[in-house]
């Protein structure tokens, strides 16, 4: 009987220790799934030019009903309005900024009038093709002109 009693007390101590370890593991993993990281803003494309249409994404799901933006000089302010019900899957928090002139912009994203995230957006000038003669139609025209010149410079035979 004493041995049986001893077995149950060891088992209860081990069960209690396992419960404590499990609780600690759950508590320590809470920041990973609870969104402890600060929200970030990402842009697509990652390295935009002045000819690209730019879309900005907020890294957290926000069920805001309206998202709008205002560009004032080098400042872009994005505002997400009052929260609505989230569907399944929850909506992506994004705004299409469109085509912007080349330059460096400071982007601030506000959720319900509180700053959620900020980021810098650098837009490079669009590169135009500086060598129009390398276009296929221009090369074909150049070849035709060279052929016509060569044909005109051929020596002519006298007819008898």
Which residue pairs, CB below 8 angstroms and at least 24 apart, start in 134-139? none
DSSP-assigned letters across all residues of 66-79 = -EEEEEETTEEEEE
All structural domains of the chain with their residue ranges: 1-36, 41-123
Which residue pairs, CB below 8 angstroms and at least 24 apart, start in 17-26? none
pTM: 0.56
**5-9, 84-88, 103-107, 148-152 — which is least confidently predicted?**
5-9
Cβ pair 94, 44 in contact under 8 A = no
Comparison of pLDDT for 19 and 61, the residue scoring more: 61
> How does DSSP classify residue 51?
T
> How does DSSP classify residue 49?
B
């Amino acid at each position: 009987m004493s041995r049986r009693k001893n077995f149950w007390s060891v088992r209860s101590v081990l069960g209690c220790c396992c419960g404590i370890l499990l609780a600690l593991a759950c508590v320590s993993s809470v920041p990973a799934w609870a969104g402890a990281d600060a929200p970030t803003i990402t842009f697509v494309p990652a390295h935009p030019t002045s000819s690209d249409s730019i879309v900005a994404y907020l890294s957290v799901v926000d069920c805001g009903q309206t998202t709008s933006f205002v560009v004032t000089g080098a400042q872009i302010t994005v505002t997400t309005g009052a929260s609505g019900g989230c569907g399944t899957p929850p909506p992506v928090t994004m705004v299409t900024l469109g085509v912007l002139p080349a330059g460096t912009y400071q982007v601030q994203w506000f959720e319900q009038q509180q700053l959620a995230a900020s980021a810098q957006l650098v837009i490079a000038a669009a590169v135009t093709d500086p060598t129009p003669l390398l276009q296929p139609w221009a090369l074909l025209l150049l070849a035709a002109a060279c052929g016509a010149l060569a044909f005109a410079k051929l020596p002519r035979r006298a007819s008898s």
